[in-house]
A = this chain, B = another copy of it.
Amino acid sequence: MSATLTGDLAAFIEAADCGATGLAGADKAKKVIADTFAVILSGAGSEVAPPILAFARKAGLGEVPVMGTPDRLSRPVAALVQGTFGAALDFDDVLSMMPGHPAAVIMPALLSAAQGRAVSGEEFIDAYVIGLEVGSKLSQGVGLKHYFRGFHATGTIAIFCAVAALARMERLSQAQTRQAFGIAASTASGLQANFGSMTKPFHSGWAAQAAVTAVALVQEGFTASEAIFEAPGGYLAAYGTEESDAAKVMPLLGQPWTIVEPGIALKKFPTCYATHRAIDALGQIEARLGRLKGRVRRIVCKVAPKSLRPLPFMRPKTGLESKFSMPHALAAAIHFDTLKIASFTDEAVRIPEILELYEKIEAIEDIACTDGDPDFEKKSSGTRGFVLVEVELEDGTVDSARVDIPPGHPKRELTWDELESKFVDCADSCGIGSDHARATFSRLRQLETVVDISALSESLMIQAKAD
Q: Which residues of A contact B (CB under 8 A)?
A: 48, 50-52, 54-55, 58-60, 62, 74-77, 149-152, 155, 179, 182-183, 185-199, 202-203, 206, 213, 216-217, 220-225, 227-228, 231-235, 237-238
Contacts and interface: CB of A to CB of B under 8 A. Distances in A.
A118 to B, nearest CB: 19
B224 A194 contact: yes
A196 B190 CA distance: 26
A235 B194 CA distance: 10
A182 B202 contact: no
Copies in the complex: 2
A287 to B, nearest CB: 40
A303 B189 CA distance: 40
A217 B187 contact: no
Nearest to A196: B225
A233 B50 contact: no
B198 A191 contact: no
B51 A74 contact: no
Given A60-B60, A77-B59, A150-B233, A225 B194 contact: yes
Contacts of A233: 150, 191-193, 195
Given A192-B234, A194-B228, A197-B225, 9 more contacts: A51-B222, A58-B216, A186-B191, A187-B206, A191-B234, A193-B227, A193-B232, A194-B224, A197-B223
A275 to B, nearest CB: 23
Nearest to A187: B189
Given A149-B238, A238-B149, A186 B183 contact: no
A238 B151 contact: yes
